[in-house]
Amino acid sequence: MPNAPILIGVTGGIGAGKSTVVEAFARRGAVPFSADTAVHELYARPAVVAAVRERWGDDMVAADGTIDRSAIASIVFVDPEQRRWLEGLLHPLVGEAWLSFVAAQNALAHPPEFAVAEVPLLFEAGLEDRYDAIVTITAPLPTRIERAEARGSGRTLSAERAAAQMPEAEKAERADYSYVNTGSVDDLDAFAGRVLDELRAARVP
């Protein structure tokens, strides 16, 4: 489809700066999609709640009937087998949500030039073929831990939790674009602008 959006996948560890670069893309007209938001929504889906309850019991379900993310994290980030089970449950559903999002953008009378997805486990889930370009944002682990703690949003990070994900160096090597986010927000913003400029230029016949 000649007018279809260029699809960008953004990945990297907790606290690396994924959300910040997605915001920079969005300021330049890219339409954002968050896999984390999709997972939040899935954790309220009755079928997902039932599957988690059957595997791990009622303690995994919060008072409002949704999955307790903290309780889940206490299991999956210390037990690779349990993490693989959860990923096997959620990844296909997140993939469906992304495809539905893309289809909705394509159906618009004037589709956006870019659509960008923030997907922390993009490589781990084998989703590379869903995107026209992949961007990895990295930062040293102490910096990422400090940022995660400063946000105070419950997205805590430990060395053990970081070790449960693919090493950032490998993600950077496999990406089309990578950025070590140790500078200013303006530096990261400028990087986002360069990526979009290059993708736009590559598309011009």
Name the residue range of residue 167's domain: 6-200
Domain count, the chain: 1
Residue 125 within any structural domain of the chain:
yes
pLDDT at 154: 43
For residue range 168-188, list pLDDT tens digits in order.
Answer: 888 999 999 999 999 899 999
Record the pTM. Answer: 0.85
Phi and psi, residue 118, nearest 5° = -95, 110
pLDDT at 32: 95
Cα(198)–Cα(189) distance, integer angstroms: 15
- The amino acid at residue 80 is P
For residue range 61-91, list pLDDT tens digits in order.
Answer: 999 999 999 899 889 888 889 988 998 999 8
For residue range 10-35, list pLDDT tens digits in order.
Answer: 998 888 899 999 999 999 999 999 88
Residue 28 within any structural domain of the chain:
yes
pLDDT at 15: 83
| Angle ∠(36,37,41) on CA atoms, nearest 5 | 115
99-106, long-range: CB < 8 A, 24+ apart:
99/130, 101/33, 102/5, 102/7, 105/4, 105/5, 105/31, 106/1, 106/4, 106/5
| 19-23, 39-43, 142-146, 157-161, range with the lowest pLDDT | 157-161
Residue 1 within any structural domain of the chain:
no
Q: Do 31 and 108 form a contact (C-beta atoms < 8 A)?
A: no
Cα(140)–Cα(181) distance, integer angstroms: 9
pLDDT confidence of 153, banded at 50, 70, 90?
very low
Residue 107 within any structural domain of the chain:
yes
Nearby residues of 69 by Cβ (< 8 Å), 6 or more positions away? 43, 154
CATH number of the domain encompassing residue 83: 3.40.50.300
Query: The tokens of 70 are what?
Result: 């903290």
Residue 189 within any structural domain of the chain:
yes
Residue 205 within any structural domain of the chain:
no
Query: The tokens of 108 are what?
Result: 């618009």
Residue 181 within any structural domain of the chain:
yes
Residue 64 within any structural domain of the chain:
yes
